[in-house]
Amino acid sequence: MNLNKALMDSGMWLAQAYLITVVLAAASIWGLARFTAWGRQFWSLTADYFSPRRNWRPLAALLLILFLTLCAVRLDVLLSDWSNTMYTSLQQLDAPAFWQAMLLFAMLASVHVLRVLITFYIQQAFTIRWRVWLNEELLGRWLDRQAYYRTQYLDMPVDNPDQRIQQDVANFVDMSLTLAVGVVNALVSTFAFTLILWTLSGPLHALGMEIPRAMVFLVFAYVIIATVFAVKIGRPLIMLNFLNERYNADYRYALVRLREYSESIAFYAGEKVEGALLRSRFGHVIGNAWAIVYRSIKFQGFNLSISQAAVVFPFIIQAQRFFSKQISLGDLMQTAQAFGQLQDNLSFFRNAYDSFATYRATLDRLSGFTRAIAEARALPEPEVLARGSRLALEKLTVKTPAGALLLADLSLEVLAGAPLLIRGPSGSGKTTLLRAIAGLWPYCQGTIVRPEHDALFLSQKPYLPLGSLRDALYYPRQLPGMANLTQAADIQRQQKAAHASAHGTPGNLDELVSARKDELGTGPETSSVPPAAAGPLAHSRAAAPDPAQAYEANAWTERAQQVLRQVQLGHLIDRLDLVADWGRILSLGEQQRLAFGRLLLAEPAAAFLDEATSAMDEGLEDAMYSLVREQLPRTILVSVGHRSTLLAHHSRQLVLQGQGSGAWEIAAAA
């Protein structure tokens, strides 16, 4: 084996193979995307990312990975030639040739180690960047136009969206690369080792016939027959893997609900029912796990037997030629190795069948998810118009998803000085009317005029976000601690910090740690910062305070403290910056008062209060409404409630009749 020649040949080989591979890969992707369902699914999820018009880097990285894959194949070929040289030197008792082979091996092995490390880094960087992009893409679509809410109205609501965004994206990206690299490696290797085997194999005499280059034909026949059987045996794994993900997600979801509703369940002492549900869901997981085990035993058993038989097969075929001295020991060993390589490469498709099954299931889930988002967007939307701060309904008809009439032809206008109270029997459609006004309810016709962004909806059980009390008070203004994370520039900043930290740059590591703290929220004992130092602009917490920002932060803090006192939550002032699960700590009445605080801080043009005082006594209810009327005289107020005490704070009432009639009447509140 001549080193210079090997280098020259390798250069030529790489150039040719690269050109051919790129062309064939592009044609295959095009063909798959056009003619197979899963190819189309793949394309719809990836086309944008690899579009050079958006960014040339992903495609360049992919081409580099392809090149490194070919380098790996070429190294395998060189090692195969090397093994021939080495075994021949042993057979001929040629010590100088043997030591030269050892030196050559040291060089080849060094290149191999270097290539493996470089490939690892580039592939990991590639998958992480791809995952960041895809996550952002799906998250953006999921949040856009309230798809996360509206998908519930689809005929087939999407199950476990959290799993699809968090886990399936990671799996999809990982497996796309692993499978693509595997396929390219297998195909190029197959080609290269077929050539080697072709030159080494001789004719086979069987049944009075001579088969030239028998070894090549035998290995192909062997693997093709094995693959056909393996596909048959492995096919049910596609469905089983799909079910595995779904059952696990369902089980996890039931566990999360137990935690979310722990208090209600504990009051009901509902452990038995919850336990039965959890065990039943876990039962599905386990039943399916056993089905996977049994099917995998058949599948793996078949694959292993085929691989074991392939170990001795080439020796049996070539033994006669070796003993009759037609080939050397080096040739025999290289034949066995080339056969093994070829068998491995061709078997890639058989062995990767279950990975491919999982991959198809992941593709199905991600495509189902994007489809559901698109369908949710296509759901009808009421016509919502913005005319300054005007609030009016014109010929509004609202129905249930089943088509039952809740409200027919409602027209009214609400003025700031004349708050409206919506009343009616339970289930008559009061909350649904608010949903329609918010633009969330697909099943309505007519026109809604309301302030575009400047409207606040308070429900009976206020939503308290993850974070501090201050975050809860200012919600939904962008949460200070999370603001960094939602912006692409900051994501990049974090990536850079992560990248730098990997190289041990201390400054950047600090930056990463502070970003992570912001992201995760810290424990109560570490997260309380002096009120004066923090504020809604608190992502400046880690940085040196800018005087203008500090002034603004102080103003926010003082206002928040004042509002807490006004809504009779003065005892919480010291804990304004404590990150905790406030939804659990505060009583429902306190949460409702916090929501009134939110209303006072937001000063919206219109406010919709859906039984927002249901957990307060009449004195508190009176105090809260008086506060709002006094502090927000320009805010248009619409309330939903059953209590007659509410009438005192409203000028008019809209009474829904219910019972599917769609009838309503407007009367004075007094």
Using CB under 6 A as the binding rule, the residues of this chain from 584 to 603 that contact ligand ATP are none
Distance from C-alpha of 657 to C-alpha of 638, rounded to nearest angstrom: 18
434 and 412 Cβ atoms separated by less than 8 Å: no
Backbone angles phi, psi at 636, to 5 degrees: -75, 130
Using CB under 6 A as the binding rule, the residues of this chain from 338 to 377 that contact ligand ATP are none
Residue 28 or residue 400: which is nearer to ligand ATP going by CB? 400
Number of residues that bind ligand ATP (CB under 6 A): 11
Residue 400 or residue 631: which is nearer to ligand ATP going by CB? 400
As measured in angstroms, the least distance from the Cβ of 162 to ligand ATP is 20
Using CB under 6 A as the binding rule, the residues of this chain from 432 to 471 that contact ligand ATP are 432
Residue 52 or residue 401: which is nearer to ligand ATP going by CB? 401
For tokens 């809410």, name the residue: 149
Sheet of strand 606-610, all strands in order from the earlier edge strand to the far edge: 455-458, 606-610, 636-640, 420-423, 652-656, 664-668
Instruction: Extract the tokens encoding 271.
Output: 């452990």
Does residue number 430 form part of the binding site for ligand ATP (CB under 6 A)?
A: yes
Backbone angles phi, psi at 550, to 5 degrees: -65, -40
150 and 120 Cβ atoms separated by less than 8 Å: no
Does residue number 429 form part of the binding site for ligand ATP (CB under 6 A)?
A: yes
User: Quick one: CA dihedral 534, 536, 542, 543, positive or negative?
Assistant: negative
Residue 432 or residue 528: which is nearer to ligand ATP going by CB? 432
As measured in angstroms, the least distance from the Cβ of 376 to ligand ATP is 13
Residue 206 or residue 402: which is nearer to ligand ATP going by CB? 402
Does residue number 151 form part of the binding site for ligand ATP (CB under 6 A)?
A: no
Instruction: Extract the tokens encoding 430.
Output: 């009061």
Torsion of CA 243, 246, 251, 257, to 10 degrees: -160
Among 11, 287, 301, 427, binds ligand ATP (CB under 6 A): 427
Instruction: Extract the tokens encoding 456.
Output: 């606040």
Residue 87 or residue 664: which is nearer to ligand ATP going by CB? 664
Buried b (16+ CB within 10 A) or exposed e, 122-155: ebeebbebbbbbbbeebeebbeeeebbebbebbe
Does residue number 399 form part of the binding site for ligand ATP (CB under 6 A)?
A: no
- Stretch of 175-183, 386-394, 398-406, 471-479 lying at the interface with ligand ATP (CB under 6 A): 398-406
Among 264, 324, 426, 587, binds ligand ATP (CB under 6 A): 426
Does residue number 431 form part of the binding site for ligand ATP (CB under 6 A)?
A: yes
Query: 3-class DSSP state for residue 131?
Result: helix
Instruction: Extract the tokens encoding 71.
Output: 């380098």
Distance from C-alpha of 70 to C-alpha of 14, rounded to nearest angstrom: 7
Does residue number 401 form part of the binding site for ligand ATP (CB under 6 A)?
A: yes
Q: Closest Cα partner for 230 from 342, 347, 350, 352?
A: 350
Among 127, 428, 566, 639, binds ligand ATP (CB under 6 A): 428
Residue 444 or residue 601: which is nearer to ligand ATP going by CB? 444
As measured in angstroms, the least distance from the Cβ of 554 to ligand ATP is 41
Does residue number 400 form part of the binding site for ligand ATP (CB under 6 A)?
A: yes
Residue 158 or residue 327: which is nearer to ligand ATP going by CB? 158
As measured in angstroms, the least distance from the Cβ of 387 to ligand ATP is 26
Does residue number 662 form part of the binding site for ligand ATP (CB under 6 A)?
A: no
Q: Which residues bind ligand ATP (CB under 6 A)?
A: 400-401, 406, 424, 426-432
